[in-house]
Structure 1
Amino acid sequence: MKTSETIDWTLSDEWPGLIEQISQGIINSRHALGMTQKELSKLTGISQSDISRIENGNANPSAKTLMRLAKALNRDIHLTFEMKTDEGQ
């Protein structure tokens, strides 16, 4: 039985570029495998509607959700923390 993931809807306002990168990465990876959202849903247990919202940039997946998606898409997730420039401080 599929369950809808709990999604934090606030991050997209603070980091729209990050949400776009995540969304595009999932779409590109899924397309490279010739996979539909429905097929990805079956592999991950994440509802197709949640996958659609993530891909459209309308939701912010949890780290757990990203790991499940990455595993199903045979991808690694890389995260880096970099020092802010003077402009960002």
Structure 2
Amino acid sequence: MITKPPARYLEAVDELAADPIVKRMAARLADVPGEQRVHADGTLDYRFMCEVADDYIDAGGQHRGPVGAIAHAVLRLRAESALTEGDSRS
């Protein structure tokens, strides 16, 4: 069962989603198949979560919140981008 994350976690995702490094990472995410990002039950794939965190730090990211928050921020931005792209095609 997936529970709602604590408020601090959600705040970290919001902060990271505004980070230019995370925005660039989200733009490149299209190359990663969905099943390598999230399991069928909605939980993050551990390898994906760690790779995203490593990429973020290697790119100079300074946020030191929960490691999963980086992956969730990237996925959120990717989803928002897909929605925007879909709206522009209509």
- The structure richer in helix per residue is 2
Q: Same fold (TM over 0.5)?
A: no
TM-score where L is the length of structure 2: 0.32
What TM-score, normalized by structure 1, do the two folds share?
0.32
Higher relative contact order (CA 8 A, sep 6+): 2
Which has the greater radius of gyration? 1
